[in-house]
Amino acid sequence: MLCWQWLRKYTRNYRRRSVKMTKGDVVKLISAISVLYPKYKPAGKEELELKINMYFSLLRNVEKEVAWLSLQKWAVESSFPPTIHDLLQKSLEIKNTEYRLTVAEAWKQVMNAIEKYGYYQEEEAMKVLDPVVREIVKSMGFKQLCVSENNMADRAHFIKLFETHIKSKKKEALLPIHLQKMISRVKKSLCLPEAKEE
């Protein structure tokens, strides 16, 4: 059986259910990578074991079908073996987790809210904004945007904040859930108590 036939058969078996990767699946995935890219083989048993553990740790929240499709997509597009990052990025592409608003549409929402609700109805204006847009507008200050006379500078600042926010969300989406939780716990534990005013 050809490698592509095997991959197709393997992914077809998991179409109906959303099943996360197991260690056995990771071993098969690494084997498939070494078949597709013969120079990819690990140097020794310890390196192979480490590779399996690292791949499993970082891919265990990815659905099996998505992982296999990611590998297939990567193999068609690149002559180099995929890294874990490459597979995670391809899985995001397959799941289509792109943000649905463009920056132009987001800014248009802001302008429409300012025009419709104005300076005195900030609460109502915030309700009609997309959650991401709302967060950015809050950080910029809705009332300041209403009275601003430099629309071009406000727009440029909004675009920069919007793009930064979307990039950070994409990076966050690449992180496996268990790592996100661990990072969150570490951040909380590192937070210093606020200084008491005397």
pLDDT digits (tens, 9 = 90+) for 132-170: 888 888 988 888 888 888 888 888 998 899 888 888 877
Categorize the per-residue pLDDT at 115 as very low, low, confident or very high, splitting at 50, 70 and 90.
confident
**What pLDDT, on a 0 to 100 scale, did the predictor assign at position 192?**
55
In a domain, 72, yes or no: yes
**In this structure, are 74 and 17 located in the same domain?**
yes
Q: Of 42, 69, 95, which one is at a domain's C-terminal end?
A: 95
Examine the domain organization and report whether 114 and 86 are in the same domain: no
196 within a domain of the structure (yes/no): no
Pairwise CA distance, residues 155 & 111, whole Å: 10
Scored b (16 or more CB within 10 A) or e, 37-72 reads beeeeeeeeeeeeebbeebbebbbebbbbbbbbbbb
pLDDT for 160 equals 92
The parent domain of residue 61 ranges over 3-95
| Count of structural domains within the chain | 2
Residues 108 and 47 in one domain: no
- For residues 156 and 158, give the distance between their C-alpha atoms in angstroms, rounded to a whole number: 5
